[in-house]
């Protein structure tokens, strides 16, 4: 019997004994061997560990044990999640070769669910970027067109799923770093409510914004992955003290009577520019498809989202400047040789260890937090954040979910965007959900320029994952080109 392609099918086949976990792993390792050299989705491929895990799962199945909802399913992990004894680098020279002494909570939960970890994926250094070109170990490439970027910062995770290296992967999303690469690679990518998934063992970028979430080939698999990794964790002080949400119950309920609001400011009109016309056209087609499926669709204005990008690029660098202060060459990570004293050694280590984009954000964040400028920059950004939260809350008084493009554009050529400000515009549509702490998901819907995939984003209120997945499943079912 051939190896199934989706996580749901693999888990069912392995649990029933009709397919071995070992055969599943070998199939995916062969796919990695065939294309990894051209795509560079991984920083580390854990082939030996994956084979050992698969053999253990097969033994447990043969003994009649229940393995879990991800039995034998290969999963790729973004290389900013701690993995016991496996290098965790954040794609940075400053952590090159560092092996954590523990697993992140999400890694523990994946293992408990029967998943097989096949490797650690490439990312923009410390998750700072929108193209995975900022990795210290070289860029990842889009499997659909290797001359194009896969998006970022979780580009390796998106590429791994799109290339068939793993049916599921994990990313982190601080300003759109799951959803934007999902859109560019034509896969499903989901950011949960802040606090729904433990951040214990996630190497921090911006602690009030970071959240871990799944990439998958389809909405059902993403829902399964979310349920596995979500739920309270006492080791994370920001973890919501509730069990994981049940999102499967309404997954196939349809959208009859559901109220869908299309965010006017994120449809390429007004002050926010740079949206490709094909992306807008596909988003409008998605809204029409939901209306045809029974949803009530209307326009909704959230005026403050036009300031989201500016607020984010004050808040995120400020938090990064604090979080990245620990990388000093003393306790772990890269240490530059020489240095007349400790201060000189730290300066040399950080200069050599951090890349240009990370240095840029540390400097921006330190400046925003400095005496005399705190209120003018960081304080004002936090007030904008509150305004966005309030306006989104008002929008959800009239709508169950909101709709927008995920990315203003489809995948662009590697090396085409050299201006940081232009690169930051890729996060225009995704940042509001991070600032508010709300869940959002990107679903492939049609194609744009160059026949490359377009992602449409569904946003939901706090802990609104169930209704979000409900709308996402309907959108997937209505997508052109047989994407469901």
Catalytic residue among 135, 140, 177, 404: 177
Q: Is the pLDDT of residue 376 over 90?
A: no
Tens digit of each residue's pLDDT (9 = 90 or more) over 314-357: 999 999 999 999 998 888 788 888 778 888 888 888 988 899 99
> Annotated catalytic, 78?
yes
- The pLDDT of residue 1: 61
pLDDT of residue 68: 97
pLDDT band at 483 (very low <50, low <70, confident <90, very high): very low
Q: Supply the pLDDT for residue 371.
A: 82
Confidence at residue 412, expressed as pLDDT on a 0 to 100 scale: 98
- Residue for token pair 């920059």: 377
Question: Each residue of 181-235: pLDDT tens digit?
Answer: 999 999 999 999 999 999 999 999 999 999 999 999 999 999 999 999 999 999 9
Residue-wise pLDDT tens digits, 386-424: 999 999 999 999 999 999 999 999 999 999 998 988 999
Average pLDDT over residues 376-384: 94
CB 104 within 8 Å of CB 200: yes
Which of 128-137, 279-288, 330-339, 457-466 is least confident?
330-339
Residue pair 453/424 in contact (Cβ under 8 Å)? The answer is no
Q: How high does pLDDT run on average in the chain?
A: 95
For the cut 50, the answer to whether the pLDDT of residue 484 exceeds it is no
Tell me which of 15, 20, 22, 78 is the catalytic residue: 78
Q: What is the largest CA-CA distance in the chain?
A: 71
Residue 66 among the catalytic residues: no
User: Can you give the pTM of this predicted structure?
Assistant: 0.96
User: Known catalytic residue: 177?
Assistant: yes
| pLDDT band (50, 70, 90) for residue 117 | very high
Q: What is the pLDDT of residues 249-267, one digit of tens each?
A: 999 999 999 999 999 999 9
What is the reported pLDDT for 333? 81
Structural domains in the chain, sorted by start: 7-229 (3.90.1300.10)
- Choose the catalytic residue: 140, 153, 407, 442: 153
Q: Quick one: tokens of 343?
A: 């201060």
Q: Which residues contact 129 (CB under 8 A, 6 or more apart)?
A: 123, 152, 153, 357, 423
pLDDT class of 482 with cuts at 50, 70, 90: low
């Amino acid at each position: 019997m051939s190896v199934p392609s989706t996580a749901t099918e693999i888990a069912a086949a392995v649990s029933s004994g009709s397919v071995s976990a070992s055969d599943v792993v070998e199939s995916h390792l062969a796919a990695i061997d065939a294309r990894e050299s051209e795509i560079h989705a991984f920083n580390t491929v854990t082939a030996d560990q994956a084979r050992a895990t698969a053999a253990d799962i097969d033994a447990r199945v043969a003994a009649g044990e229940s393995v879990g909802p991800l039995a034998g399913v290969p999963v790729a992990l973004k290389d900013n999640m701690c993995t016991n004894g496996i290098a965790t680098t954040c794609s940075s020279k400053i952590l090159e070769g560092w092996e954590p002494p523990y697993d992140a909570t999400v890694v523990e939960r994946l293992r408990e669910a029967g998943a097989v970890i096949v490797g650690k994926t490439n990312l923009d250094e410390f998750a700072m970027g929108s193209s995975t070109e900022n990795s210290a170990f070289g860029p990842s490439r889009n499997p659909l067109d290797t001359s194009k970027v896969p998006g970022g910062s979780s580009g390796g995770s998106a590429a791994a799923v799109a290339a068939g290296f793993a049916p599921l992967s994990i990313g982190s999303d601080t300003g759109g770093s799951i959803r934007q690469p999902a859109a560019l690679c034509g896969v499903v990518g989901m950011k949960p409510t802040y606090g729904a998934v433990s951040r214990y063992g996630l190497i921090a970028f911006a602690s009030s914004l970071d959240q871990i979430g799944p990439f998958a080939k389809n909405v059902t698999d993403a829902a399964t992955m979310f349920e596995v990794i979500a739920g309270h964790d006492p080791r994370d002080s920001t973890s919501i003290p509730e069990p994981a949400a049940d999102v499967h119950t309404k997954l196939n309920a349809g959208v009859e009577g559901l109220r869908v609001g299309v965010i006017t400011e994120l449809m390429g009109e007004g002050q926010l520019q740079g949206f490709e016309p094909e992306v807008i056209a596909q988003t409008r087609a998605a809204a029409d498809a939901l209306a045809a499926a029974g949803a009530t669709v209307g326009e909704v204005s959230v005026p403050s989202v036009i300031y989201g990008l500016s607020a984010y690029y004050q808040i995120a660098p400020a938090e990064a400047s604090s979080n990245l202060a620990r990388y000093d060459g003393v306790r772990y990570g890269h240490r530059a040789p020489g240095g007349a004293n400790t201060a000189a050694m730290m300066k040399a280590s950080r200069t050599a260890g951090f890349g240009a984009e990370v240095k840029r954000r540390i400097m921006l964040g330190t400046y925003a937090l400095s005496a005399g400028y705190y209120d003018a920059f960081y304080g004002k950004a936090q007030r904008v954040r509150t305004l966005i939260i309030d306006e989104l809350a008002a929008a959800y008084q009239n709508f169950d979910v909101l709709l927008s493009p995920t990315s203003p554009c489809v995948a662009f050529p590697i090396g085409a965007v050299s201006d940081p400000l232009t690169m930051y515009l890729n996060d225009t549509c995704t940042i509001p959900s991070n600032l508010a702490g709300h869940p959002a998901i990107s679903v492939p819907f049609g194609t744009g320029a160059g026949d490359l995939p377009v992602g449409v984003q569904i946003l939901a209120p706090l802990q609104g994952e169930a209704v979000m997945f409900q709308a996402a499943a309907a959108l997937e079912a209505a997508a052109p080109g047989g994407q469901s």
